[in-house]
Amino acid sequence: MANINYKIINNSTLELAEDAKVGDIIDLTKEIKVDVSLIKDKIVAEVKNKTIVECEKNKQLAIEKAIAEEKNKFTEEANNLRIEIASLKNENKSNTDKLAIEKKNVEFEVSQKFNNQISELNSKIKEIEFVKNSELEKKEFIYQQKLNESKIEVKSQIEQLQQTIKEKEAKINELSNVNKWTQFQNWETYTDGGLEEYCYNYYLNHIQKFWPQIKFEKDNVILNEDGNKSASGTKGDFILKEEDNDGFTFSISFEMKNEKTNSKTTKKIEEHYSQANNNRNKKNCKYSVIVTTLEPSKDFTIRKVDKHENMYIVRPEFFENIIVQLRESELNAFEKNKALMEEACKLRSERSDITDFYTKINKFGDIWFKRCSGAKTAYGDAIKHIDKAITELQAVRDSLTESGEKLDQSIVDFDALSITKLSRKNPTVKSLLTPKDKKE
């Protein structure tokens, strides 16, 4: 193997200086200086071009692989999301149906229970009102009947008493006709002071022994026209009073009037009526009695004065009779009134018990209705909450449906994604992604 001599014609041509054969060597570095920069640049350019093409290919493969992986991952997530959306839709529908059924059941149950309680309470109220009205009507009828019977009985007793008084007066008058003139002579012996003394002694010796609770006292209090104490005015002669612990009161204002027949100041009995009635009113007495010997020619023993309320005139010897008769009449009336008051109190007590019973019933009804109203309000609030929950679930359902639709559209858009579309109208990215050989 020989080393062949040569000379360089130009940058691209060598000229051999001797014959050469296969296997001979041209040594460019020993004999002459050769500019290898052009060769080096060309080799570097070739290597660079091959490296860029290979890198671009690798880059393209990496991008496509990453896009494929992301696409697969996105598709998997989209499928999972579709499954979850379908599950939520089914669950939402199930919950909505369940809430609707529960709502109907609650409405029916509450309505039925409320109506049953209302019907039951109305039935009880009607029954109680019927019993109440029947009992009240019956008791009022019995009370009115007893009251009428008592009035009739009292009226009958008064009439009997008046009849007895008339009969006694007739007998007394019959006896008095025999001794009229003798009595008249006896009456002449009385002065006003003597008549007062006679009545007071009679009280001490007879009345006080039988009825020690009866007080018969001298009237020493002078009252004016206004009923106040005064140095001048009028007063009676005696006041008789009786009181007990049961509330019975009995009082008489007495006037003693007696004059001699030859007196120049002789008066008629009726001239003393007004003063006697005035004294009775001022001293708060029930009855007024004038014990008198005036007008002996008038034939009476005990007589009622019709011109004035509860006023009687009586002869001295019938002093005790008038007290006994008026006391018996007042006591009978008191007993009857007491019985009526007891009966009335009993009826009022029974009425109060019935009223209290109905008050409790009404109170119970008010509380019951209040509770029912509260339950109804709570029921309405529960229904509102159920409706609100249904509305919210429907909104969630709509939102999920919208999300599913958007997800489907995103998958379609992702499937249509490519490098060409991404680099459209972007020359920088397009130049980076385009291989060099394609550019040339």
State the Cα–Cα distance between residues 247 and 254, nearest whole angstrom: 23
The pLDDT value recorded for residue 159 is 80
Structure tokens of 308?
């004035």
In contact, 31 and 17? CB cutoff 8 Å = no
Q: What is the largest CA-CA distance in the chain?
A: 223
Structure tokens of 139?
């008791």
The pLDDT value recorded for residue 180 is 44
3-state SS of the chain: helix, strand, coil percent to 5? 70, 10, 20
State the Cα–Cα distance between residues 279 and 277, nearest whole angstrom: 5
What element of type H or E holds 217? strand 215-218
The pLDDT value recorded for residue 289 is 96
The pLDDT value recorded for residue 374 is 81
Alpha-carbon distances, residue 5 vs 13, 23, 29, 102, 190 (angstroms)? 14, 14, 12, 111, 211
Structure tokens of 2?
């020989």
State the Cα–Cα distance between residues 358 and 416, nearest whole angstrom: 86
Number of other residues whose CB lies within 10 A of the CB of residue 18: 9
Q: Output Rg (C-alpha) for the chain, integer angstroms.
A: 70
Sheet with 287-292: strands ordered across: 215-218, 238-243, 249-257, 287-292, 311-314, 302-305
The pLDDT value recorded for residue 265 is 62
pTM of the complete model = 0.42
DSSP 8-class letter at 259: -
State the Cα–Cα distance between residues 306 and 158, nearest whole angstrom: 16
> Mean pLDDT in each 10-residue stretch from start to end of the chain (440 residues)?
74 75 72 54 70 76 79 80 80 77 76 75 74 72 78 78 73 53 46 78 91 90 70 79 91 86 70 91 92 87 92 93 93 89 84 79 81 80 83 83 81 70 71 59
